[in-house]
Amino acid sequence: MKLLGKASIPASPAWMLCMLVPAQAQTLSFAEPLRVDVRFGGEVTVELSSREEVLGWSFGIRHDPSLLDPLRASCEGLAAGAVNGGKGPDFVDVEIHPPNGAGITTEVIVSFSGTEVVPAGPRVGLARILYAAKPRAKKGMTARLEFTGELGQPPLPTIVILTGGAAAPAIRAGEVVFIARTVSFIRGDANGNGFIDIGDAVSMLNHLFAGQATDCEDAVDANDDGQIDISDAVYTLQFQFARGPELPPPYPDKGADPTPDDLDCLRPA
């Protein structure tokens, strides 16, 4: 049993099966397009088309573990996340890499009191799953995602709870396409605001000495020596205020790093 506050919930939704009713045009599917970047990863959205309001659901999704790695799942920004005044469902249980295979399982009860529902409609968003691409995944390759009732211990069935009872929905598999976005940055634009000012030198020093994270090491490497150190902030300040040498390419434009090094950048073009 799972215990949340004063509410005791079965660990498996087997209790749902005793009230299973015929499906009334409910379909679980994946929102198109399904794209995962080989460097940045990507989110996959699970949608439900239903003629009835929804009180809860459970399902598993199987993936190819040599190509994909699920990192997290949520319903934020979707219809399922808007219930209970935007706080989301009362009960959410997500298991990544459950027993019986590579995948992810999710089990949701919208409201313990039954006063909140996910609205009926076509392609209503239930969950977003963030996937990372494994090193083997290359641009143009594909990976299949399949709904399954075989993951977990005991296995978690694919069920939706409707105002008229529980139903086993129709399911549609999806195919992820791996893409590779081009990385683009302005040399010296450490804070990523699109231009060079004193704030960039401050960001460089904060990254060096205060542990501030950066999404583009190449931009912080203002002098393009392949290293991040105090000379980058000095180089930037000299360029701005002491008529120092111009920042190396791709400055003044956005672009890729023309110099091979071990630094990385996560800013897409």
**The last residue of a domain, from among 146, 164, 179:** 179
DSSP string, 73-134: EE-TTSGGGGTGGGT--SEEEEEES-TTSSEEEEEEES-SSS---BPPEEEEEEEEEEEEEP
Q: What is the pLDDT of residue 267?
A: 83
**Domain residue limits at 232:** 182-269
Residue 217's φ and ψ, nearest 5 degrees, are -65, -35
Q: What is the pLDDT of residues 92-144, one digit of tens each?
A: 999 998 888 899 999 999 999 989 999 999 999 999 999 999 999 999 999 99
Q: What is the pLDDT of residue 21?
A: 52
Q: What is the pLDDT of residue 112?
A: 94
* Same domain, yes or no: 154 and 240: no
Count of structural domains, the chain: 2
Residues 6 or more apart whose CB falls under 8 angstroms from that of 104 comprise 60, 61, 63, 70, 73, 94, 95, 96, 97, 98, 129, 151
CATH number of the CATH domain containing 260: 1.10.1330
CATH number of the CATH domain containing 114: 2.60.40.680
* Same domain, yes or no: 19 and 122: yes
* Same domain, yes or no: 191 and 231: yes
pLDDT < 50: residue spans in the chain: 1-18, 23
* Same domain, yes or no: 216 and 144: no
